[in-house]
Amino acid sequence: MALVLPDDAAARAAFLADHGAEVTAVVTSGRTGVDRTLMAELPNLGAVVNFGVGYDTTDIDAAAARGVSVSNTPDVLTDCVADTAVGLMIDTLRQFCAADRYVRAGRWVSEGNYPLTRQVSNTRVGIIGLGRIGSAIAKRLTAFGCRISYHNRRPVDGVPYTYAASTVELARDIDVLVVAAAGGAGTRHLVDREVIAALGSDGYLVNIARGSVVDEVALVEALAEGRLAGAGLDVFVDEPAVPEQLLTMDNVVLLPHVASGTVQTRAAMEDLTLRNLDSFLASGTLITPVPMPAPAR
């Protein structure tokens, strides 16, 4: 039997009191997750089955401590997210959305040609997070003649890209910074004021990862003050809220967290989510478990 957890606080408390002990698996998404408090209300929980590749909203440490397994849906969304990153980069540098608005407002007739923008091909691109999605982005941008460098916790063997030991070092030598790192406490504000300053007034930021990875306040300030050339953003800190200042900036492209939002990809994500759930209910194992930290002693 599938039960739906209510959103209303009072209804949720009543639901958990009545059904909390019955729940052995939870199906959730990267936007919702299962925090430590909810986990405590589910004494027989065995698995958190996540719809999406990101699982930073689920308390992995609490899950590990209780022996709760967690799964996500890797690989099936890699292509669409990488496509979105490249599309955002093109739109941000070439300002296609802004140029579209320019035409629709009749300004081509009244003001003349749209101002020149920045070339995409042959730019220097830095990628934070050279995992499945970051690697797919790099592959696509290589076809554009871009020079790729990257920052990871450690160098990746066998790749032809230049490794940077820190995010600041990466930002100093590129034109576009693409954020493809996982979310969570370990990557919060990985792109901070120092990184944004190193990217500089001619630099661009593209984020298809998590809003928390970028210091959003510092980003907005840099854009407003002309210390950053532009940004393409699919994710934000407090979704669906978007900083109001960004809404009027023509050098910023804003998407409503749609990087994996195609019919084909969402169907594949749904299929893998259900296969993980079926596998757990049948055998107690998950098809695509995420790495779990060792429980604290």
- Please, which pLDDT band fits residue 297 given cuts at 50, 70 and 90? low
Cβ(68)–Cβ(38) below 8 Å: no
**Strands 47-51, 69-71: parallel, antiparallel or unpaired by DSSP?**
parallel
pTM reported for the whole predicted model: 0.93
Cβ(150)–Cβ(138) below 8 Å: yes
The model's pLDDT over 5-62, given as tens digits with 9 standing for 90+, comes to 999 999 999 999 999 999 999 999 988 999 999 999 999 999 999 999 999 999 999 9
Cβ(233)–Cβ(258) below 8 Å: no
Report the candidate in 89, 116, 100, 114 with the shortest Cα–Cα distance to residue 252.
Answer: 89
- H-type helices in the chain, by residue range? 9-19, 36-40, 60-66, 78-94, 96-104, 107-111, 132-142, 167-172, 193-199, 216-224, 263-283
pLDDT at 30: 83
Rounded to an integer, what distance in angstroms lies between the CA atom of residue 222 and that of residue 200? Answer: 9
Cβ(177)–Cβ(171) below 8 Å: yes
Cβ(260)–Cβ(82) below 8 Å: no
Report the candidate in 95, 44, 277 with the shortest Cα–Cα distance to residue 204.
Answer: 95
Rounded to an integer, what distance in angstroms lies between the CA atom of residue 219 and that of residue 227? Answer: 9
Q: Per DSSP, what are the bridge partners of residue 47?
A: 25, 69
List, in order, residues 6 or more apart from 113 with CB less than 8 Å away. none
The model's pLDDT over 112-161, given as tens digits with 9 standing for 90+, comes to 999 999 999 999 999 999 999 999 999 999 999 999 999 999 999 999 99
DSSP summary character for residue 13 = H
Rounded to an integer, what distance in angstroms lies between the CA atom of residue 33 and that of residue 49? Answer: 9
Rounded to an integer, what distance in angstroms lies between the CA atom of residue 90 and that of residue 104? Answer: 20
Q: Which amino acid is at 237?
A: V
pLDDT at 293: 86
Annotated active-site positions, please?
210, 239, 257
The model's pLDDT over 38-51, given as tens digits with 9 standing for 90+, comes to 999 999 999 999 99
